[in-house]
Amino acid sequence: MTRIPDLLAAGRTLSFEFFPPKTAAGAAELDAALQELAVLRPSFISVTYGALGSTRANTRDLVIGFNQRHPFPAMPHLTCVGQSRAELHELLGAYQRSGIENVLALAGDPPADGSPSGGDFTFATELIELVREVGDFSVGVAAFPELHPRSPDRTTDRRHLAEKLCAADFGITQFFFEVEHYVRLVDELDALGCTTPLIAGVMPFVSVPGVRRMAAMNGTHLPDELQVRLDEVDGDPDAVRALGVEVATELCGQLLDHGVPGLHLYALNRAGSIKAIHAQLDLSAG
């Protein structure tokens, strides 16, 4: 079984997210991490796609290679802002010919300097249409429990998200640190008649400046107590990693108690934190 909606229907999923490495050393690190994490038998893994298509070939080659070498499916992330319909059509065709069955369809971010992004797309919903046109893929989308940073208000955010999720097969959330954000999101979508399964994204952070930067970028709230603990461990890599594991383990436990349909762990191309979380909770898929 390799389509994510079928995996979700069969039981709770466990998945890991990786990014395309930039150097040979990074590639070796990713290979080693993947080998260690394959032993945990994830339901699927995913590989990110650089903004504006910057990792197009790397993401494609990694995903196709992983998919051929492992019994679990590898899903490519794909963004559409700043890219032409023809180039995305070609990439999706390559995925289809290689037996890839799942795609995470994203808008992506416009250029950070405010210059026009060009390309043929603005929103993820337009990419969902293209993905479905090219092949019989299962389609996932992104969801932001604490609202997408470009959304003008909560009602508008939830309306667009519900429309997008209804056109997709499943969602994966941005990372968050308080389970209430996930619970409230699911309730709000329910009220809008949207019951598409929402996999919770959990980030076991490994760097204090890194988690603060990503949280600020994504609108993720860092609770006061966590801020204090981050200050305490800043500068001690082992203590930061241990805190990241502790916080993620507690959150995963709360999400499991809540009956979440899947857990998606941001692996950051390393195995250590994920293995530590897995050892403390019964995270076996299904």
Ligand X SMILES: Cc1cc2nc3c(=O)[nH]c(=O)nc-3n(C[C@H](O)[C@H](O)[C@H](O)COP(=O)(O)OP(=O)(O)OC[C@H]3O[C@@H](n4cnc5c(N)ncnc54)[C@H](O)[C@@H]3O)c2cc1C
Query: Any long-range contacts for 131-134 (C-beta under 8 Å, 24+ apart)?
Result: 131/78, 131/92, 131/103, 131/105, 134/89, 134/92, 134/93, 134/96
Q: Which is nearer to ligand X, 51 or 183 (CB)?
A: 51
* Cα gap 82→110, rounded to integer Å: 7
Nearest residue to 12 via CA among 185, 250, 260, 217: 260
Question: Is position 197 an interface residue for ligand X (rule: CB under 6 A)?
Answer: no
Q: Which is nearer to ligand X, 33 or 127 (CB)?
A: 127
Which of 85, 132, 148, 212 is the binder for ligand X (CB under 6 A)?
148
* Closest separation in Å from C-beta 125 to ligand X: 6
Task: Clarify whether 36 is annotated catalytic.
Answer: no
DSSP character for 269? Answer: T
* Closest separation in Å from C-beta 79 to ligand X: 5
Nearest residue to 150 via CA among 194, 211, 108: 108
Footprint of ligand X on 111-130 (CB under 6 A): 123-125
Report the b/e string of 5-34 with b at 16+ CB within 10 A.
Answer: bebbeeebbbbbbbbbbeeeeeeeebeebb
Q: Which is nearer to ligand X, 108 or 244 (CB)?
A: 108
Footprint of ligand X on 55-84 (CB under 6 A): 77, 79
Footprint of ligand X on 85-114 (CB under 6 A): 106-109
Question: Is position 20 an interface residue for ligand X (rule: CB under 6 A)?
Answer: no
Residues near ligand X (CB under 6 A): 48-49, 51, 77, 79, 106-109, 123-125, 142, 148, 150-151, 157, 160, 164, 172, 174, 201
